Amino acid sequence: MRSSYLIPWLYAALGLLTGISASCKKNGGGTPDPNPPGDTTTVNPQVDPPLASTIGFFLDDWQPRNFTIPTSFTNTTVPAASGVTVTVDRSSVITKISRGFAGNNSNLWMGQFVTEPVLLDYISNLHPHIIRFPGGSISDVFFWNALPNTPPADAPAQLVQANGSTTAAGFWYGKNTASWTFSVENYYNMLQQTGNQGMITINYGYARYGTGLNPVASAAHLAADWVRYDNGRTKYWEIGNENFGDWEAGYRINTSVNQDGQPEFLTGQLYGEHFKVFADSMRKAAQETGKTIYIGAVLSESTPLSWWTPTASGWNTGVLSGAGNNPDYFIVHNYYTPYQTNANADLILGTPQTVTSTMMDYVKQCLATAGLVQKPVVLNEWNIFSTGSKQQVSHINGLHATMVAGEAIKNKFGMTARWDLANGWDNGNDHGMFNNGDEPDGVPKWNPRPAFFHLYYFSRYLGDRLLSSASTSPDIVSYASSFSSGETGVALVNKGADSKSVEIKISNFRKGSRFYWYTLTGGTDNGEFSRKTLVNGIAGTKAAGGPDNYTSIYPNAASTAAGIRVIVPGRAAVYLVVAKQ
């Protein structure tokens, strides 16, 4: 998280309805099958491409997905004509889809929420698969096995800031059971209750600011002890968080108390050399428990800019030189939009496609330039930086979330983790997917924001393989997928302000009698940054969020006989599945 670890709480369109009258039908309503037995449509079989090295072992737990045809739905007619065509080739597989395509982040200031059934139910239903801990920058001042206010003896009371001043260290402790924080044990408890897996960020900063004879060995030993304690519950580990940044603990140290000759300012080369020490200790610990773990190294996500510090500018080159092929995977973060600017919806929705592909290309180029083997790449922090109009808690950010997840799959990231489950209101500049209890207007604690609803329906109507698809309109972005049970899913995001009629044409597929979909639109509040999301025209009763009955809302459905066409309102999304024959 790109904010001071001392004050993490600082980070915290009108939708047009289809207007079609409908009635609820049960068991298909008797519509004839347009592709009866004996259909001669040519269907080329799917062929999975080779496993992408940028995904790698993040597909080890891949599972086929079967779609259950709804028995209850809202029977609807389709528009007579379309202005946009989306073509899908079901035989052309881009990649199998990692189960961690839309993970999330927990943090240490959410409270001990394992006793909060409302939130746990939301997390279980969303099922992000991977939930990172203990947070962003706070990871580098976190002592996982310490009681409150009992840091290691060689952890200094003051830390050096980027400008050379010192401030209280503000350490956080894994055995702190106070209600306002989140303990290590409750992190494991939460994962067990919600059926998700973990990703743990190790305190690398301690290797820099520690005052012992060998601070690197001390920090690596602390990390290895966590691996032993974890005992195989967690597969994915990373060393540090955004350590190239001058906001991170350990970026600058007091050399007068350092005992192993480290420089005042961190470099990528030094981090890379230290990474090998950490990884060696942690892998030995994993071997002792008979478990396999994967350890990631921190990289910068983009080409250096003129104003960057020397540490940040030389980071990737230094890390790859110092660590070599030792890391199992590489980590990047991205907050997509310009830092703390009041961006409009067009700018925000224009970033997922270009930024995601540019980021992956840059990391691959860095590894190639260094002469290293390509390894998996993960995006384990992402959101938008836009502020001033409640962009972060808006329906627009929900659309953005779907697009980032879709683009990450398309660009073959191993996994992603959105920042974060809950944060702090800060007048709507809140990255949290759920209200942490400080949102105004009578919004209850843990109420989900629009991003929750978009990722929930995207996940439900997303298969296990991403397919090639193309749109005739730059405003309509499509993500097509196939289910192992035979159906085809298509997510449509309308970046534009005007409603579009879209026809979906699927080759190498014998379609069934019906297709099913959900349309998610924004409300009429707060200009183009509505805090609400409507599902098939159904709104929630609160000032923000969506309908409480989101799990039981019937999908829309229509016959495929006249073509697969839907209305996608302006700045809205449609999540759709076409039945197989």
Do residues 493 and 573 make contact, with C-beta atoms less than 8 angstroms apart? Answer: yes
Instruction: Give per-residue pLDDT as tens, 342-381.
Output: 999 999 999 999 999 999 999 999 999 999 999 999 999 9
Q: Which residues form the domain of 44? A: 23-97+465-580
If DSSP states are collapsed to H, E and C, what string results for 535-547?
ECCECCCCCCECC
Residues 251, 302: one domain?
Answer: yes
Among 129, 143, 20, 10, which residue's Cα sits nearest to residue 74? 20
Residues 90, 102: one domain?
Answer: no
Q: Is the pLDDT of residue 2 over 50?
A: no
Residue 372 lies in a domain: yes
Do residues 102 and 419 make contact, with C-beta atoms less than 8 angstroms apart? Answer: no
Instruction: Give per-residue pLDDT as tens, 93-125.
Output: 999 999 999 999 999 999 999 999 999 999 999
- Picking from 444, 460, 476, the residue at the C-terminal end of a domain is 460
User: 428-451 burial string, b = 16+ CB within 10 Å, else e?
Assistant: bbbbbbbbbebbeeebebbbbbbb
Burial of 3 (0-12, 13-18, 19+ CB in 10 A): middle
Residue 15 lies in a domain: no
Q: What is the mean pLDDT of the chain?
A: 93
Instruction: Give per-residue pLDDT as tens, 233-282.
Output: 999 999 999 999 999 999 999 999 999 999 999 999 999 999 999 999 99
The pair of structure tokens assigned to 292 is 């396999």
CATH number of the domain within which 553 lies: 2.60.40.1180
Among 396, 445, 451, which residue's Cα sits nearest to residue 419? 451
Q: How far is CA 451 from CA 112, 126, 439, 544, 573, in A?
A: 23, 11, 16, 12, 12
Tally of domains in the chain: 2
Position 316, amino acid: N
Residue 372 CA to residue 31 CA, distance in Å, equals 57
Q: Which run of H or E residues covers position 226?
A: helix 215-230
Residues 77, 162: one domain?
Answer: no
How large is the average pLDDT for residues 406-427? 98
Do residues 458 and 490 make contact, with C-beta atoms less than 8 angstroms apart? Answer: no
How large is the average pLDDT for residues 19-43? 45
Residue-level pLDDT at 42: 86
Residues 217, 275: one domain?
Answer: yes
Residues 54, 195: one domain?
Answer: no
Q: Which run of H or E residues covers position 312?
A: helix 310-313
Neighbouring residues of 119: CB distance < 8 A, sequence distance ≥ 6: 113, 421, 422, 434, 446
Residue-level pLDDT at 8: 33
Q: Is the pLDDT of residue 37 over 80?
A: no
Residue-level pLDDT at 372: 98
Q: Is the pLDDT of residue 29 over 80?
A: no
Residues 72, 156: one domain?
Answer: no
Residue-level pLDDT at 405: 98
Residue 314 lies in a domain: yes
Residue 137 CA to residue 478 CA, distance in Å, equals 34
Residues 70, 111: one domain?
Answer: no
Q: Is the pLDDT of residue 26 over 70?
A: no
Specify whether the backbone of 331 is left (phi greater than 0), alpha (psi in -120 to 50) or beta.
beta
Residue 284 CA to residue 264 CA, distance in Å, equals 30
Position 382, amino acid: W
The region of weakest confidence among 31-35, 328-332, 475-479 is 31-35
Residue-level pLDDT at 18: 31
Instruction: Give per-residue pLDDT as tens, 157-190.
Output: 999 999 999 999 999 999 999 999 999 999 999 9
Q: Is the pLDDT of residue 335 over 90?
A: yes
Neighbouring residues of 17: CB distance < 8 A, sequence distance ≥ 6: 519, 521, 534, 537, 569
Confidence bin at 31 (pLDDT 50/70/90): very low
Residue 387 CA to residue 433 CA, distance in Å, equals 16
| 8: DSSP letter | G
Position 420, amino acid: D
Q: Is the pLDDT of residue 4 over 80?
A: no
**End-to-end Cα separation, the chain, in angstroms:** 47
Residues 150, 42: one domain?
Answer: no
Confidence bin at 11 (pLDDT 50/70/90): very low
Instruction: Report CA 553 to chain centroid distance, whole Å.
Output: 25
Residue-level pLDDT at 40: 67
Instruction: Give per-residue pLDDT as tens, 444-458.
Output: 999 999 999 999 999
Do residues 151 and 125 make contact, with C-beta atoms less than 8 angstroms apart? Answer: no
Residues 281, 397: one domain?
Answer: yes
Helix and strand tally (H, E) in the chain? Answer: 11, 24
Confidence bin at 39 (pLDDT 50/70/90): low
Residues 193, 67: one domain?
Answer: no
The pair of structure tokens assigned to 449 is 């924001």
| 514: DSSP letter | E
Residues 351, 314: one domain?
Answer: yes
Residue-level pLDDT at 88: 98
Residue 107 CA to residue 102 CA, distance in Å, equals 17
Residue 18 CA to residue 495 CA, distance in Å, equals 17
Beta-bridge mates of residue 478: 492
Q: How far is CA 106 from CA 169, 178, 392, in A?
A: 22, 16, 17
Residue 14 lies in a domain: no
How large is the average pLDDT for residues 80-88? 95
- Picking from 394, 426, 460, the residue at the C-terminal end of a domain is 460
Q: Is the pLDDT of residue 545 over 50?
A: yes
Residue 378 CA to residue 133 CA, distance in Å, equals 15
Q: Which run of H or E residues covers position 455?
A: helix 450-460
- Picking from 410, 426, 460, the residue at the C-terminal end of a domain is 460
How large is the average pLDDT for residues 376-399? 98
Give the three-class secondary structure for 194: helix
CATH number of the domain within which 366 lies: 3.20.20.80
